[in-house]
Amino acid sequence: MIDVLLPCLNEAEALPWVLTRMPDGFRPLVVDNASTDGSARVAAAHGARVVPAADRGFGAACHAGLLAAESEVVCVMDADASLDPAELPRLAAALGDLEE
């Protein structure tokens, strides 16, 4: 299982698309950065683990997510649907090739 950190600030509209495209073997951790649009609720309703970020900002959200992550390999992607989670297996495969 690979944890996927999704730093999030008011991405309730984008999260359903992102989370429903998360492939098997990848566990979404939505790191909520004090969203006011219900992003945390939407993320939880779509099966994501929600991690609160005490401090504001992308770096603080990434740090909070890394502290909460449980997998040896961790991916970070935006929660705004600018990247397609369906591509994550290709990334993981490339990482595996580097270790050989």
Going from the N-terminus, what domains does the chain have, and what CATH number goes with each? 2-99 (3.90.550.10)
Collapsed DSSP state (helix, strand, coil) of residue 65: helix
Q: According to the model, what pLDDT value does residue 93 have?
A: 86
Query: How much is the average pLDDT of 86-97?
Result: 84
> Considering the chain, what is the average pLDDT of its residues?
92
Q: Does the CA dihedral 40-51-79-48 come out positive or negative?
A: negative
Q: According to the model, what pLDDT value does residue 92 have?
A: 86
Looking at the chain, the whole-number percentage of residues with pLDDT higher than 70 is: 96
Q: According to the model, what pLDDT value does residue 98 have?
A: 44
Comparing C-alpha atoms, which of 57, 65, 3, 76 is closest to residue 31? 65
pLDDT digits (tens, 9 = 90+) for 59-75: 999 999 999 999 988 99
pLDDT digits (tens, 9 = 90+) for 6-51: 999 999 999 999 999 999 999 999 999 999 999 999 999 999 999 9
Q: According to the model, what pLDDT value does residue 70 have?
A: 95
DSSP element (H, E) containing 28: strand 26-32
pLDDT at 100 over 50: no
